[in-house]
Chains A and B, each alone.
Chain A
Amino acid sequence: MINKHFVLLHQADNVFVCCKQLAAGSLTTLETVEVAMTTDITVGHKIARTEISKGDKIIKYGVSIGSATQDIVFGEHIHMHNMKSDYIASHTRQSRTGEES
């Protein structure tokens, strides 16, 4: 755990995983850099550990879990709105592509 809200699962990862909910606007320190959350982050969700460019792999557990579909800034929420599978599309109750959940 890097602080009480986030955990780094593998040194090669470019994401942190939330282990305690954090509201939009809250400040948190990620490996010495302070950043404000731009959205509510709930348990199990990911935020960026670095700047990530469109097309870059998202790395979690030390392996690729998909690709960024847009540029992502440090500390930003990473989910179906800005990344996609390299294998098979994900779906939500409302849609198959995951635009809205």
Chain B
Amino acid sequence: MISQITKRDGRQVPFTVDKIANAIFKAAQALGGNDYQTAYQLALQVEDYLENTLGNTTPTVEQVQDVVERILVENGHARTAKEYILYRAERTRVREMNTRLMKVYEDLTYQDAKQNDVKRENANIDGDTAMGVMLKYGSEGAKQFYQMFVLNPKHAKAHSNGDIHIHDLDFLTLTTTCCQIDIEKLFAGGFSTGHGFLREPNDIQSYTALGCIAIQSNQNDQHGGQSIPNFDYGMAHGVAKTYKKLYRQNLVKACQLVCGLENAPEKIREMMDAIAQETGLVPVLAGDNGYAQEEARRLEILIDREQIARVQEFAASSAVAETDRSTFQAMEALVHNLNTMHSRAGAQVPFSSINYGTDTSPEGRMVIKNILLANEAGLGNGETPIFPIHIFKVKEGVNYNPGDPNYDLFQLACRVSAKRLFPNFSFIDAPFNLAFYRPGDPNTEVAYMGCRTRVMANVYDPQRQVTGGRGNLSFTSINLPRLAIKANHNIDFFFEELDRELALVVEQLLERFEIQSRKKVRNYPFLMGQGVWLDSDKLGPDDTVGEVLKHGTLTVGFIGLAECLTALIGKHHGQSPEAQNLGLDIVGFMRKRMDEEAAKTGLNFSLIATPAEGLSGRFVKMDQKKFGILPGITDRDYYTNSFHIPVYYPISAFDKIRLEAPYHALTNGGHITYVELDGDPLKNLDAFESVIRYMKEAGIGYGSINHPVDRDPVCGYTGIIDEVCPRCGRREGEGVSIAHLKRIGAYKNYNADTIGYHGDPAEEAQRTPNSLS
């Protein structure tokens, strides 16, 4: 007699025949049956069978289900048996999802970020905050749901077993990756954030404030980065407006004080309005448009002729100085805002980038100088700003050589980067970027998303191979080392398998694109609703976005070229020219496939050197399980980033640049090369600049120099800290006396409740950003 049954969670509950009968009956019902009596008879047979085979032991749920299947088949109910098996499989799937997902949720709930790698998947999300964990719950739940019910099972399998990695899977059905926001176009005439209309800004401070809002609003519509491709050109309009306003104010002041002009504000405004209306002239920073002459003529009616030159001189020079100051404050506010204001479920500041460096107008130059100085000054306590990512566009004839109009700003960019790690440098002269460049059209200057994404060519609309209003739609990366390990030194076989994998990824990207295409403008109130994305201004709120999305890129990425080459021929591309040649063959092969696909579909298929943050450890962990620890391949906790020479391999900066540069030409969806410099690069700015120049000459598209930037929050020292802080002499975690901090000038606040850093004498001394040199 069976009295108990063991459930999956180990609990024992009373055994009832009715439950078995019900399950059989439901399976039969699915096929149109309605004979409960037969179901009950079959259930009794199941009970008999169990008693005969198990004796006194308590059956488990699984055992009972096995017997049900068997009895059904033996009694000639094959179709019902099949239905029952399906029902059982479905239940298992749901149960597995529950337990697997619930286990993830449990860890998210009860472990802090220090123990839980999932919480640290993305370093810019604080996984210990309420909104950070909430974001993770959503993200992990969505990933599992899509894998089970939305993705093509073929793609889901390739993703879950680590052949490929579908990036940002949690956003599969929701949105696209990133966008270059054309700030000039957006600001013209004002815009709406969804909760009220913002007028076209009227001075540089509102320009940067609205710039931040635009980035934040767009970040809520996409999962990737947000970038401004034309920061200098866009903000220059704000500088011009501020100058005009400040010139008028100072002219009023001078006319009042020096000449005793009555009702000066009204009279001057009337005069300036008349000049603008009749001649179209307004005061400009350069003072070279003939406005001053026109104004001098008209001032004769208002003030003493002798005083005109003096008054104008005062107004112009004061306005220049004040505009410069105002611009610095505006840039400082932008940097502060982009490091503090959160979007993306409130867990993360926007992934913001700004590109600049080529605007040679006096207003544009003022923008570039001050954004650099604001980044150099750092945040409130001298901390290094994390955002925005600054990208300085290098161009011959504009800022690259001594004598170029913005060469001084290129040098300033090197100095700031040597202290603060930003700006990174992009190179318009790299042949693959120069091909799109049309002098005088900033929209054809390459702009990068800070992480490295690049969108330039446009097979969908060859008339518009531009940066503004475009971005990546989605990308998926290939596990190159695994393909190589499986090829077992057979290079032909490797290429065959790579080709197959590329076909799979292309198919997956197209299926994802189908989902994205069905979304409507109203799903993206800012990105599409405000016309940020190219051509979205031609759509209504209920139109689907599929057609305009074709301006974006569908991108295949890769990781671990170095490990892949080691697996194939025993050496990576830093070690042997043969490996370098093979590496270029492999990446060139992938690029060729993308070009073919683009020609075939009219969609912008491209190849990216994957950034791989969360991915860097995921593939190798699985491959270690699969293949064991293979020296030079799976023997570290990460696969080497994209086409990079491994970080642990000793090589000179110049060799590294020379070897990586040809891959930039092949990876049209994005790339970056890093060099790690030792010591404090501020002490050797010539070397710093020479590395950047070498990148340009070698044909690098986008590059950057890494060097240690440490900070002691107690005394505020920023620089290199090994074991001991060079300023206050403490070790990590040690206390230092208030008296000592006072002696070195790093402690000014006598309130013991707010201990810690209260001012950085060295850095504050450097903050002289308003000089006009």
Q: Do A and B come from one complex?
A: no
